[in-house]
Amino acid sequence: MADLTALADQLNQTASTGTDAQLRQLLCETPVSPPHGQVRDVTVRKSVPALAKGVAPPGAFGKAKISGVLQRIVFIKFRPVTTNIDGQEGALTFDVKTAGELTTNASRNGWIACWFLPWKSGLLVKMDIEPDSGPINSGDPAIAALPNPRLFYTAAINGCSVFAYGTATGPTVVHAGFETNFADKGKVDQLGGNSAAMWKSLLEGVTASPDGLTLTVKPPSKPNLGEVNRYDYIRTRTADGSDPLGTADAAQLEQYLKTNRTDVLKVKEVNPWGSVFGLRTGNSWQMTLQRNVSIQYRTIRQTSGFLGLGKKDVDIGPAVQKASTKGLDAFNKKRIETNYKHALATNQFVCCVNVGHTDFFPGAQQISNHAHNQIQFW
């Protein structure tokens, strides 16, 4: 397995002292699974009442803005994902501290300044990135001035859309999505048939009649608008209008591994996922979608008998420790033994690899892929 702790240390060091080129290469190629980061309190500035009627929370399908610099700039530190609760296992994630928690320059030592965009289910949440003109006054005499970060991340995406527009020196970034149990299928159909079309319509200023039946989309007015959505990193758009989970990248890698690595691997699943980061080089920002896959697998060890006779392949997963049954009654002893056998049958390694990246702002999408036979796999 990759040494994720060493990889996190390298990324932290490079983000602190490395060149833009060094940092970009690591950010493009190292799978990073950001924290979920759903903002708790946000004011809805614009909404479409007819669309939001009967939908919880109130103001859904509207727009919200994060304005305060203390809410937009945070301090992060990369680390390995420890459980599937805080990110994609086998990847890196990062811890987040606010300026209110790190009030002095000394307390920020070892932490990386970052523009961070959280999200809110059912809303388009946006923030402006300020052009680089030196440190930014925090507005609070108890909090030291904030550096103007060269790094940007948005919270974890899992079917969400991310938009960037405006100037390359001071772009506006928008994160739009909803929880899986939130989507109102009727509203999605009404605004284009899928969430990607819906969020873009809302971003561009859709209006509706009071009964919600007549929709009008204003002419696009967002300069240099760039976008990534679910079809760029987690789902596939098909001719019949369905959008099954999976991407061409993930399918091709899975086929490659199952065809070419059968002597050392038994691959169970290859699942795509993505994350969005930005990096300022000089005075200009570039926004990038990182396209990753999570691979669930077991290794294969070949054993052989005398003179090579009776050789066989043995599947090996991570070690599973059996709980002690000492002193337990027959029922509980049986329960623990059953759980242990189940764990042995289902346990598997998990790793994440990067299959490419897509630069989506400024300018049209530029897609870069990695050859499957060159992807680092452990």
* pLDDT at residue 93 in the model: 97
* pLDDT at residue 195 in the model: 83
H or E stretch including 76? strand 73-80
* pLDDT at residue 348 in the model: 85
Q: pLDDT tens-digit profile of 209-221? A: 555 555 666 666 7
Collect the ranges in the chain with pLDDT lower than 50: 56
Show the DSSP H helices in 2-107 as ranges: 4-17, 20-29, 49-52, 69-72
* pLDDT at residue 321 in the model: 81
Please report, for residues 81, 116, 174, 282, 355, the alpha-carbon distance to residue 38 in angstroms, rounded to integers and kept in the order given: 18, 11, 13, 31, 27
Q: pLDDT tens-digit profile of 180-223? A: 655 555 566 666 678 888 888 888 877 655 555 556 666 667 89
* pLDDT at residue 39 in the model: 80
pTM of the full structure: 0.87
3-class DSSP state for residue 269? Answer: strand
Task: Give the residue among 76, 72, 109, 110 at the shortest CA–CA distance from 93.
Answer: 76
* pLDDT at residue 16 in the model: 96
Q: pLDDT tens-digit profile of 356-376? A: 999 999 999 999 998 877 676
* pLDDT at residue 218 in the model: 65
Q: What is the DSSP string of 185-213?
A: HHHHHHTTSSHHHHHHHHHTT-EE-TTS-
> Mean pLDDT of all residues in the chain?
86
